[in-house]
Amino acid sequence: MRKLLIMTLTAASMLSLSATATAATTATPVKHPKLIANPLYEAGALPATTCEEPKVKRNDRKSGRAYVDAVIACLESTWEQHLTAADLPFSKVKVRYVSKLPKTYCGTRETEKEDSTARYCGKTGELVFQLGKTWLDDPSDLWLFNTVSYMYGWHVMKLVGIADAYDAAPSSGKTEDRELARRQSLQNDCFSTAFLKSVWPLKGRTTKDWTYLLSMVEGDAPGEARLYGKRANVVAWYKRGFATGDPGSCNTWTAPSSKVA
């Protein structure tokens, strides 16, 4: 199963999580207004648009990059319409492809040695993709589409103030840090499938593709749940975004801790 290896880098800080620490319930309610009552939540469902997926040849980086470019173009069109209609800020994301992630990126030192990964740098508004065999060996499903959408969600969070509010949110320690991180990641999971709903049905896709995407969500391996949420919760937020097509339904910041564990 392909694993989504992503580190998101914001303008103010980089989140560092221990894969061996124990997750627990946060003791402090989230209070930052840009998190719990962001204007994005009142903007309604994303506009229905059309998006076509280019064919990706197996283990072919050129066609893989063309695919990512096409999905980014769809995302930009949808989110620009949505944010500007709600009088929220919008700017296009920068996209760069690398054969190997630089050792230093966005003010941090990289340690990942995977052949496929992605990063978002909030201070430059840039997405970097490293496309390798792990992601391109079987590109026939919706996994890469959803991955690109998830990555673009970090840009949306930066635009509407969620990323900066997350950086500013007070925390009592590592346990609370991890819950806040899961809330942010699960919200982005929901954003990604809300976008999928806005362009659904994609040409050549059926509900079987959607069901298969849900089946590809990583299980509760050591560290995974602590970083991104338990499988059941990831799937639940996926389903919520796809059911509504509305980013407003993705407010994880006011959800009970059990829903973001």
Q: Which of 35, 32, 18, 28 is nearest to 174 (CA)?
A: 18
Domain spans of the chain, in order of start? 6-12+28-260
Question: Which parts of the chain sit beneath pLDDT 50?
Answer: 1-3, 5, 7, 10-27
Say whether 242 sits in a helix, a strand or coil.
helix
Q: Six-digit token pair at 58?
A: 């197996």
Which pTM value belongs to this model?
0.90
Angle at 175 between CA 174 and CA 181, to 5 degrees: 85
- What single letter denotes the amino acid at residue 77? S
**Cα 58 from Cα 144, distance rounded (Å):** 12
Q: Six-digit token pair at 10?
A: 């914001």
229 touches 247 (CB < 8 A): no
119 touches 106 (CB < 8 A): yes
Compute CA 114 distance to the chain's CA centroid, rounded to the nearest angstrom. 19
Say whether 130 sits in a helix, a strand or coil.
strand
Q: Which of 88, 164, 103, 156 is nearest to 127 (CA)?
A: 156
Query: What confidence score (pLDDT) does residue 8 get?
Result: 54
Say whether 230 sits in a helix, a strand or coil.
coil
- What single letter denotes the amino acid at residue 34? K
Which helix (H) or strand (E) segment holds residue 164: the answer is helix 162-168
Instruction: Give the β-pairing of 126-130 and 117-121.
Output: antiparallel
Query: What confidence score (pLDDT) does residue 9 get?
Result: 53
pLDDT tens per residue, range 12-43: 333 333 222 333 444 468 999 999 999 999 99
3-state secondary structure 17-82: CCCCCCCCCCCCCCCCHHHHCCHHHHCCCCCCCCCCCCCCCCCCHHHHHHHHHHHHHHHHHHHHHH
